């Protein structure tokens, strides 16, 4: 029997990229899945690829914060409780702080931070001590250090880190398990669907991501980390070492990220590691 067989799992941000990778792997492993995102037709298409699996679709927009408690109790009722909830929906904005409209920065905070918080608050009310609940938050390297042109995105991921570290400490020993996943560069559409500072869609794939890890491989790494009960872990290529570099040599890291950090990291990777 597989670790994930019969687990009741809600994936928020299931329609593409890392979330889609998780759906594909977990459906094959026999999990009971609830898929959420805005793009309902994509979720239904994914469901139809696994006709033998138990998959339900619950479309939602995490930006509509006031609707999230209701959506969360709907998700809870589908399989009579939940074992794992992946709070994976995310959006990026890439621009200088001076070019970013405040309303765009607020939008990023709503999707990446307040959405997961609103869902988690409702889950805290619904869960019972005899039913262990695992919350899986998708953070980022930008949740560990800020880089130019990603201020609001980095703020939202730092906020995830601080909030959920605190919640983990508050609820220790109560059957709530909090896992923070830090993907490196993963080949998804996050920057294509991402915004510019004025709120328009970027439409551009960032080079580092185009060369990044395949989302299915990333999803495999995430499931493995969870099976090992890791509280926080990085999944990605050699860029994952920057987390340790930042912790051990923060001064050096500050110099590295001041200008063109991704190009510098790429050069660093090419010099010291084979991909």
Ligand X SMILES: NC(=O)c1ccc[n+]([C@@H]2O[C@H](COP(=O)([O-])OP(=O)(O)OC[C@H]3O[C@@H](n4cnc5c(N)ncnc54)[C@H](OP(=O)(O)O)[C@@H]3O)[C@@H](O)[C@H]2O)c1
**Residue 122 contacts residue 72 (beta carbons within 8 Å):** yes
**Does 188 participate in binding ligand X (rule CB under 6 A)?**
yes
User: Are the C-beta atoms of 203 and 192 separated by less than 8 Å?
Assistant: yes
**Residue 153 annotated among the catalytic residues of the structure:** yes
- Cross-strand bridge partners of residue 34: 10, 56
d(C-alpha 23, C-alpha 25), whole Å: 6
Q: Does 212 bind ligand X (CB under 6 A)?
A: yes
- Can residue 17 be called a binding residue for ligand X (CB under 6 A)? yes
DSSP letter for 234, please: E
Out of 118, 119, 133, 190, the only residue in the binding site for ligand X (CB under 6 A) is: 190
Interface size with ligand X, residues (CB under 6 A): 31
The interface mask with ligand X, positions 110-149, x = CB under 6 A, is -x--------------------------x-x---------
Q: Looking only at residues 144 through 183 of this chain, which bind ligand X when binding is defined by CB under 6 A?
A: 183
Give me the 77-106 binding string for ligand X, x by CB under 6 A, dash otherwise: -----------xxxx---------------
Verify binding: residue 15, ligand X, rule CB under 6 A: yes
Q: Select which of 145, 153, 163, 241 is catalytic.
A: 153
260 binds ligand X (CB under 6 A): no
**Minimum distance between the CB of residue 146 and ligand X, rounded to whole angstroms?**
14
Q: Considering only residues 7, 10, 16, 57, which one is a binding residue for ligand X as defined by CB under 6 A?
A: 16
By the 8 A CB rule, do 13 and 43 touch? no
Supply the minimum distance, in Å, between the C-beta of residue 147 and ligand X: 12
Question: How many of the other CB atoms lie within 10 Å of CB of 258?
Answer: 11
221 counts as binding ligand X under rule CB under 6 A: no
Residue 249 near residue 273, CB atoms below 8 Å:
no
Of 114, 102, 117, nearest to 151 by C-alpha is: 102
Q: 117, exposed or middle or buried, with CB in 10 Å at 0-12, 13-18, 19+?
A: middle
Within 32-61, the residues that bind ligand X by CB under 6 A are 37-39, 42, 60-61
Residue 201 structure tokens: 């869609």
Q: Evaluate whether 33 touches 56 at the Cβ level (below 8 Å).
A: yes
Distance CA 133, CA 7 (A): 11
Q: Could you tell me the smallest distance in angstroms from the CB atom of residue 32 to ligand X?
A: 19
Residues that are catalytic: 153
Give contact residues for ligand X (rule: CB under 6 A): 13-19, 37-39, 42, 60-63, 88-91, 111, 138, 140, 183, 185-186, 188-190, 193, 209, 212
């Amino acid at each position: 029997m597989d670790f994930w067989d019969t687990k009741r799992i809600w994936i928020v941000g299931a329609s593409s990229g890392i979330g889609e990778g998780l759906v594909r792997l977990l459906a094959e492993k026999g999990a009971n899945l609830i898929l959420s995102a805005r793009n309902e037709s994509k979720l239904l298409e994914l469901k139809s690829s696994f006709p033998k699996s138990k998959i339900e679709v619950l479309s939602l927009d995490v930006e509509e914060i006031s609707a999230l408690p209701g959506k969360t109790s709907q998700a809870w009722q589908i399989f009579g409780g939940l074992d794992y909830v992946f709070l994976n929906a995310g959006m990026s904005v890439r621009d200088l702080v001076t070019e970013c409209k405040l309303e765009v920065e607020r939008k990023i905070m709503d999707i990446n931070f307040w959405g997961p918080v609103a869902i988690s608050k409702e889950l805290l009310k619904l869960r019972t001590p005899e039913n262990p609940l695992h919350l899986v938050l998708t953070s980022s390297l930008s949740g560990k250090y800020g880089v130019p042109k990603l201020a609001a995105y980095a703020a939202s991921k730092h906020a995830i880190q601080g909030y959920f570290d605190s919640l983990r400490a508050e609820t220790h020993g109560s059957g709530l398990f909090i896992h923070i996943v830090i993907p490196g560069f993963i080949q998804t559409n996050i920057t294509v669907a991402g915004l510019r500072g004025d709120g328009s869609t970027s439409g551009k794939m960032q080079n580092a991501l185009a060369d990044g890890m395949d989302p299915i491989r990333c999803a495999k790494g995430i499931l493995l980390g969870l099976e090992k009960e890791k509280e926080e872990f990085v999944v990605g290529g050699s860029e994952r070492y920057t987390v340790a570099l930042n912790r051990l040599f923060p001064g050096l890291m500050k110099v590295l990220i001041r200008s063109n950090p991704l190009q510098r990291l790429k050069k660093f990777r090419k010099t010291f590691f084979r991909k």
